Structure 1
């Protein structure tokens, strides 16, 4: 089993866990492996962060043997996920979402099943299927802001880029809104996701 990540620190951390796998630095949009190298390829909440997720899906198809399986997970969007509604709304109200982040495709595009089917088929996959994931984020209410500052990517970058006073107001609104999901001081926030999978031709 081989795991790749573009971030060296993540590769080092994964390697330190003593798992029965090899970990190496790699770009999901330009994998270093020969064609038809693997029986299975998995991308766990990674496409969400890539500048060209379609290219990464095509790369997965390239390195799979005929009949191999590919699967990826992706978060569902703000229509069903409170976290992805609350934070952007707080930023728009009290700060600015335009902080010079690198260009990226719409983050929840692949949560649209018709779009995922189209992209997977264009990459050469068939028998595309989906499984719903019912997940819940649990975090003490007084640690929520710390989690958002360390546990996300683009949301973390947006929060850190705000001026001091707007950021204070943003954080307070996030706490207030998330407290609606708290019980006994612990936020329990629905974070639905999907698994999409397909078979290589």
Structure 2
């Protein structure tokens, strides 16, 4: 059976939807080069094989779906942002992109051999419900693989942004109450959540993957957060213009001083690649 119809959006879900509708066209240039390096390690954990039936949830511009299809998988990809889906179809016209919310996936039970999501989980309003939906559409022993940004101590884009906001921001974050996704950094809590959703707790793996964001302009992070992010950049965009300028200067100087890399700059990025197998 298919999941029931999508429920009315919460304030957090509406914030996410409105945000992605606005930044879809800017996301590719602002963040695509930064999130894409984590896709191959994620797909390795997903255990793809030629002809596998796979689902990419919160597909965004479809980067993961494109690589999975190139590896020989049969791919369906969903997102709840029509603007993102339009952009994904332009980038990957050969892939079946559909409107879909991970909290109520429009697919039959046991439809897929693997499900994956590259940096989608931190935008899910109810991770437990989403994980249970993923388990529902997976076949027995199918794999769920996803990425999560690591804490600021390892992921320096978040560190640079949050330190500048803490020092200079005058307006509180406009993000409605939602999941504190960094709680998923606790491995024991993550395993418990996945087990409750229908996954084999002994199958859960987590691997730290690191990547360096190479940039010529130390203001690139500020510009990317300002125009291409939803949740992390929301507080930044709410500040008065003069405050935004001070935040941008602080972020740029931090990168200029602390992250020299050859003739440019290199910002350490880090994410966890998580995988789990659905119970038989």
Same-fold call, TM > 0.5?
Answer: yes
Counterpart of 1:41 in 2: which secondary structure? strand
CA contact (8 A) 1:91 1:97 kept: no
CA distance in 2, matches of 1:24, 1:83: 31
Match of 2:144 in 1: 70
Q: Which runs of 5+ in 2 are unaligned?
A: 1-74
Q: CA deviation at 1:184?
A: 4.8
Match of 1:38 in 2: 112
Match of 2:208 in 1: 132
Match of 2:259 in 1: 181
**In 2 relative to 1, CA 97–57 (structure 1 residues): closer, same or farther, beyond 3 Å?**
farther
Q: Which runs of 5+ in 1 are unaligned?
A: none
1:149 counterpart (226, 229, 244) = 226
Q: CA deviation at 1:142?
A: 3.9
Match of 1:3 in 2: 77
Matches within 5 A, 1:11-30: 11-18=85-92, 20-30=94-104
TM-score calculated relative to the size of structure 1: 0.92
Are 1:80 and 2:158 an aligned pair? Answer: no
Which stretches of structure 1, 4 residues or more, deviate above 3 A after TM superposition? none
CA contact (8 A) 2:81 2:99 kept: yes
CA distance in 1, matches of 2:171, 2:212: 26
1:116 counterpart (190, 211, 231) = 190
Q: CA deviation at 1:176?
A: 1.0
CA distance in 2, matches of 1:173, 1:149: 14
CA distance in 1, matches of 2:84, 2:271: 23
More helix by share: 2
Out of 49-58 and 182-191, give the one that drifted further: 182-191
Counterpart of 2:130 in 1: which secondary structure? helix
Q: Which is bigger in relative contact order (C-alpha 8 A, separation at least 6)? A: 1
More strand by share: 1
Q: CA deviation at 1:71?
A: 0.7
TM-score calculated relative to the size of structure 2: 0.67
Counterpart of 2:104 in 1: which secondary structure? coil
1:16-37 deviation digits (Å, cap 9, x = unpaired): 1235420011111111111111
Aligned pair count?
201
CA distance in 1, matches of 2:81, 2:208: 29
CA distance in 2, matches of 1:20, 1:9: 18
CA distance in 1, matches of 2:157, 2:221: 11
